């Protein structure tokens, strides 16, 4: 992990943790909301990491679970009068269950077809949501307002997202240390080989996608309550999906903290550099994506692990060039 | 009387119009070292893939310890007690040597979920094959011969009854070949039946109990190494005159 | 007969879909790559046609060689200097890379032409003729004919010319091709360039009858997936058949269901194909 020792990293990590814990008490609402947004993306990136980074299944449409969670939350709160936290749990659980069900046919597809399948599912869910009345169709849904003033609201969502982010990190950490992690990585390497090693890929892939969906759905649920208004094009949008992949790849797919680091990095750039240059937003995003794919396909973690060297940047190219 | 641990009956595999395996019959006795030779493209690796369940059979049967396995998924076959070392190394690139072996330990026949115990067992097996010191090396840092040993170690931790080795001596120098032969013999003495594909003639003829020769997907001979080397058709098709003379000396 | 109208519409649209997906299918079949930027490359071709015909004051239809050539060059350069750097990197990297390119091209179009819809209004726009109570707009017929022609020409190129055969050979067995002295990199550049050029042509055709925005390319994904897979990845005759079929399904679905459900129907159709017909109508792998 770079040239610093393990204990040094733990101290740094702890420092960041406490800094973030205390942040809302010292910084203004602007910063609190900014970080809440960063945590949101960190959750998304960390979640997609489980299915894509560890298992190698490129769920490009994973944002569908975000939308699903948001809408489950919204419908339960508005049409069933359920309060926030139970709805939130239902949102996560609903997304997870949906992943298990849809995983039955979809996870069996070859990687390329799985990728396409998730993109199509995203479109399908968006269209269905736009066309049925219980979700308000294309008009969207307004959720009940958070009881409390703006300051309280900021704090509530900040800490909620913070907790969720840490939960997803903890979950990934435990996976990486357990037999699940080894199974996932074996599957990513080559499913046939994994099978010959005695791993039955199906339950593992399904568990990975369900976990990924669960956290993504939770994030969607929180987002819905935070924004108090959602519409299909907003929560089933492809751009955040790509962003979370970018964050995962940039930080390092298949690592515990890589996607989180990627999320912080991209969101900071997002806010301060090209927030000013809105009209080249996509261009920069695309450029970063292209550069990352070429020079650091394995992400920051691998780049800095064992010491940074310029030659590491070219290593990816040497390996993958035709 | 020795029992057959693996039997193949009229094993046939077609890839579209191409018939890779034609009605192959064979049986492997428990405890023996069974060699499989033949020219390139004869269907040796295909046969192993069929045994492992990686590719489906077109017709015929494969029976392992009295149980039909040809319709089973690979992971089930592995758990019954068949382990495989591939011709082109299938090491898990990002894992260390020990972790590679660990994967076999966790999911093979004994299927334990305990990482620390798995690590200990992986360590023991690595010591056995002589890789104990390199356990924390990345797989990209070790030699080819070591990588082959690692794959054998990984196969061994799965507690197999039958071990399938596909050209594990390819690319090794004579010294390494000799070491590998010794290791295979040691493994066999522990009671593990071995099915071995090789092109290094001296090695495979030297340690096999019996040898089967495939040519063009068909079995053309099955017998002891001596019988095989004297088989006129085998000599013509594969061994060449020189070898049979060498062998009989 | 109203049904006849739907059928004709479906077929005409289907021919267009076939030509739209053929380049995508070729790249997928030969390079094993999912080019997520394809839709936007098509749209770029449309914009070039728009710009040139506006600037020179000529019929937009006449500009399609220009969009083909410029996209050929662009495609060649992109493959040579960008995609070739990661071509062996696997599905994740190549897919994300092409999506990155997608975003870049979209933004460039956005910067030059802004977000409003642009269209051409050729003089033959509204004109049509009647064929036993079915109305056939000239534009759509023209698009259909050109699309089919392009598809056939591409197939002839790949099967009957030496260069084309070389390209197909690399798909069958890249290592063998390399051993025989073929430069895979160059082959990929050529393949991508051709795919790009075809995309440009299709875009030029598209804008004759439809307005475009920088984001229009994203609407093509489902169509690309369906036609490429249903027709058998890499198979041009298959894509033709699949395109026509898709056109018919899309058109006839309106007969049974409300038009607002069309996207849903198509998406479900696509998923069913992914799950049940991954090898296409023919049911076997074309390459490998």
Q: Is the pLDDT of residue C36 over 90?
A: yes
Minimum CA–CA partner of B114 in chain A: A179
Domain count for chain B, please give it: 1
Say what the pTM is.
0.88
Enclosing domain of residue B74: 1-30+39-80+199-249
Q: Can you tell me the mean pLDDT for B33-54?
A: 90
Bin A136: left if φ > 0, else alpha if -120 < ψ < 50, else beta.
left
Who's near A3: CB < 8 A, 6+ residues apart?
A: A307
Alpha helices in B32-88, H assignment, sequence order: 44-52, 74-80
How far is C50 from A259, CA to CA, in rounded Å? 42
What mean pLDDT is predicted for residues A35-59? Answer: 95
CA-based end-to-end distance of chain B: 32
CA A183 – CA A201 distance, rounded (Å): 8
Q: What number of other Cβ atoms are within 10 A of residue A125's Cβ?
A: 24
The helix/strand/coil state of B39 is coil
Whether A322 shows a pLDDT value over 80: the answer reads no
Tokens of A258: 């890589």
Question: What is the C-alpha to C-alpha distance for residues B222 and B208, in angstroms, rounded to an integer?
Answer: 12
Span A300-311, average pLDDT: 74
Phi-psi region for residue A306, left (φ > 0), alpha (ψ -120 to 50) or beta? left
Query: Which of C31, C86, C88 to probe the A interface (max A CBs under 10 A)?
Result: C86
Contacting chains of B (3 CB pairs or more, <8 Å) are A
Distance of CA C53 to the CA centre of its chain: 22
User: Under 8 Å CB-to-CB from B249, ≥6 apart: which residues?
Assistant: none
State the nearest Cα–Cα gap between B5 and chain A, in angstroms: 19
The winner for highest mean pLDDT among A269-273, B16-20, B120-124, B241-245 is B120-124
Please indicate whether, in this complex, the C-beta atoms of A189 and B93 are within 8 angstroms of each other. yes
Instruction: Classify residue B148: in a domain, yes or no.
Output: no
Pairing of strands B59-64, B210-215: unpaired
Q: Which two tokens stand for residue C15?
A: 């021919």
CATH of the domain at B211: 3.40.50.300
Closest CA to B143 of B110, B183, B172, B117: B172
Contact (CB, 8 A) for A50 and A208 = yes
For the cut 80, the answer to whether the pLDDT of residue B160 exceeds it is yes
Closest by Cβ to A179, choosing from B53, B86, B115 = B115
Interface test with A, best of C95, C96, C113, C278 (most A CBs within 10 A): C96
Q: Which residues of C touch A288 (CB under 8 A)?
A: 100
Across the interface, of A178, A200, A254, the residue whose CB is closest to B75 is A200
CA distance A93 to A220: 12
Q: How far is A4 from chain C (nearest CA, A)?
A: 30
Other chains touching A, judged by 3 or more CB pairs under 8 Å: B, C
**CA gap A103, A294 in Å, rounded:** 31
The candidate with the shortest Cα–Cα distance to C164, out of C186, C185, C187, C147, is C187
ipTM of the complex: 0.87
Would the pLDDT of A248 be above 70? yes
- List of residues 6+ apart from A308 with CB closer than 8 A: A2
Integer CA distances (angstroms), A191 to A118, B90, C28, C285, in order:
19, 11, 22, 20
Phi/psi for C188 (5° steps) reads: -60, -40
CB spacing of B106 vs A179 below 8 angstroms: yes
- The pLDDT, as a whole number, for residue A1 is 45
- Residue ranges of domains in chain C, CATH in brackets: 2-276 (1.10.3470)
- Smallest Cβ–Cβ distance between A199 and the set B93, B95, B107 belongs to B107
Task: Find tokens 């609201």 and name the residue.
Answer: A153
Secondary structure (3-state) at B20: strand
Contact at 8 Å (CB) between A220 and A95?
yes
Would you give the DSSP letter of residue C240? Answer: H
Using one digit for the tens of pLDDT, what is the confidence trace for B55-89?
999 999 999 998 999 889 999 999 999 999 988 87
pLDDT above 50 (res C288):
no
Give the torsion sign (CA, C275, C277, C278, C283). Answer: positive
Nearest CA to CA, how far is B73 from chain A (Å)? 8
CA–CA distance, A190 with B91 (Å, rounded to integer): 10
């Amino acid at each position: 992990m770079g040239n610093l020792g393990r204990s040094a990293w733990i101290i740094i990590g702890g420092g960041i943790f406490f800094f973030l814990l205390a942040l809302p008490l010292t910084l203004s609402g602007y910063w609190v909301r900014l970080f809440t947004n960063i945590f949101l993306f960190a959750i998304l990136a960390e979640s997609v990491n489980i299915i894509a980074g560890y298992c190698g299944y490129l769920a490009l449409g994973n944002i569908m679970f975000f939308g699903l969670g948001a809408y489950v939350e919204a419908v339960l709160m508005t049409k069933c009068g359920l309060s926030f936290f139970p709805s939130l749990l239902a949102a996560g659980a609903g997304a997870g269950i949906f992943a298990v069900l849809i995983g039955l046919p979809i996870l069996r597809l070859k990687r390329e077809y799985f990728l396409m399948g998730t993109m199509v599912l995203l479109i399908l869910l968006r269209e269905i949501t736009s066309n049925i009345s219980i979700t308000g169709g294309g008009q969207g849904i307004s959720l009940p307002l958070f009881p409390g003033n703006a300051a309280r609201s900021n704090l509530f969502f900040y800490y909620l997202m913070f907790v969720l982010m840490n939960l997803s990190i903890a979950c990934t950490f435990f996976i990486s240390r357990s037999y699940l992690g080894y199974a996932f990585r074996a599957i990513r390497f080559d499913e046939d080989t994994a099978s010959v090693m005695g791993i039955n890929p199906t339950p593992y892939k399904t568990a990975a996608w369900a976990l990924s969906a669960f956290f993504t759905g939770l994030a969607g649920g929180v987002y819905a309550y935070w924004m108090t208004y959602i519409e299909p094009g907003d929560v089933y949008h492809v751009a955040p999906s790509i962003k979370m992949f970018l964050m995962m790849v940039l930080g390092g797919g298949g690592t515990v903290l890589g996607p989180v680091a990627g999320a912080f990095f991209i969101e900071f750039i997002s806010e301060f550099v090209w927030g000013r240059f809105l009209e080249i937003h996509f261009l920069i995003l695309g450029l970063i994506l292209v550069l990352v794919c070429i020079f650091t396909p394995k992400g920051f973690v691998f780049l800095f692990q064992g010491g940074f060297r310029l030659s590491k940047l070219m290593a990816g190219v040497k390996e993958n060039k035709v | 009387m020795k029992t057959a641990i693996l039997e193949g009956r009229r094993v046939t595999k077609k890839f579209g119009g191409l018939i890779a395996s034609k009605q192959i019959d064979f049986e492997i006795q428990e405890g023996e070292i069974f060699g499989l030779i033949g020219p390139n493209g004869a269907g040796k690796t295909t046969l192993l893939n069929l045994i492992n369940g990686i590719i489906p059979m077109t017709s015929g049967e494969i029976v392992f310890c009295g149980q039909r396995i040809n319709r089973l998924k690979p992971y089930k076959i592995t758990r019954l007690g068949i382990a495989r070392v591939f011709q082109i190394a299938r090491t898990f690139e990002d894992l260390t040597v020990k972790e590679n072996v660990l994967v076999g330990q966790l999911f093979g026949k004994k299927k334990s979920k305990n990482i620390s115990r798995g690590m200990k067992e992986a360590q023991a097996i690595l010591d056995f094959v002589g890789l104990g010191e390199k356990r924390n090396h990345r797989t990209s840092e070790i030699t080819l011969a070591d990588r082959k040993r690692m794959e054998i170690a990984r196969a061994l931790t799965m507690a197999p009854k039958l071990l399938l080795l596909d050209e594990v001596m390819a690319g090794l120098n004579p010294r390494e070949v000799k070491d590998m032969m010794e290791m295979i013999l040691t493994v066999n003495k522990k009671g593990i039946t071995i099915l071995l594909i090789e092109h290094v003639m001296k090695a495979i003829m030297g340690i096999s109990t019996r040898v089967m020769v495939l040519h063009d997907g068909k079995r053309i001979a099955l017998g002891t190494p001596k019988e095989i080397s004297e088989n006129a058709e085998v000599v013509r098709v594969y061994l060449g005159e020189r070898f049979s003379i060498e062998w009989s000396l | 007969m109203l049904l006849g109208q739907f059928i004709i519409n479906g077929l005409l649209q289907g021919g267009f879909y076939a030509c739209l997906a053929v380049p995508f299918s070729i790249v997928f079949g030969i390079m094993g790559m999912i080019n997520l930027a394809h839709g936007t490359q098509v749209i770029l071709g449309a914009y070039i046609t728009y710009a040139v015909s506006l600037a020179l004051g000529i019929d937009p239809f006449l500009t399609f060689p220009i969009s083909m050539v410029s996209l050929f060059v662009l495609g060649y350069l992109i493959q040579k200097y960008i995609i070739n750097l990661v071509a062996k990197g696997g599905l994740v990297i190549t897919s994300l890379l092409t999506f990155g390119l997608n975003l870049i091209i979209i933004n460039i179009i956005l910067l030059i032409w802004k977000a409003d819809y642009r269209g051409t209004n050729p003089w033959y726009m509204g004109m049509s003729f009647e064929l036993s109570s079915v109305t056939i707009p000239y534009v759509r017929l023209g698009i259909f004919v050109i699309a089919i022609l392009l598809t056939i020409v591409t197939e002839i190129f790949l099967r009957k010319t030496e260069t084309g055969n070389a390209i197909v050979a690399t798909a069958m067995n890249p290592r063998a091709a390399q051993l025989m002295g073929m430069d895979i990199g160059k082959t990929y550049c050529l393949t991508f360039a051709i795919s790009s050029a075809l995309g440009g042509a299709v875009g030029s055709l598209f804008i004759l009858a439809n307005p475009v925005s920088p984001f229009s390319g994203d609407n093509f994904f489902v169509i690309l997936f369906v036609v490429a897979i249903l027709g058998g990845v890499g198979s041009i005759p298959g894509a033709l058949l699949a395109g026509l079929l898709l056109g018919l399904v899309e058109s006839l679905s309106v007969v049974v269901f409300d038009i607002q459900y069309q996207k849903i129907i198509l998406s479900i159709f696509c998923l069913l194909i992914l799950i049940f017909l991954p090898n296409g109508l023919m049911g076997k792998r074309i390459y490998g």
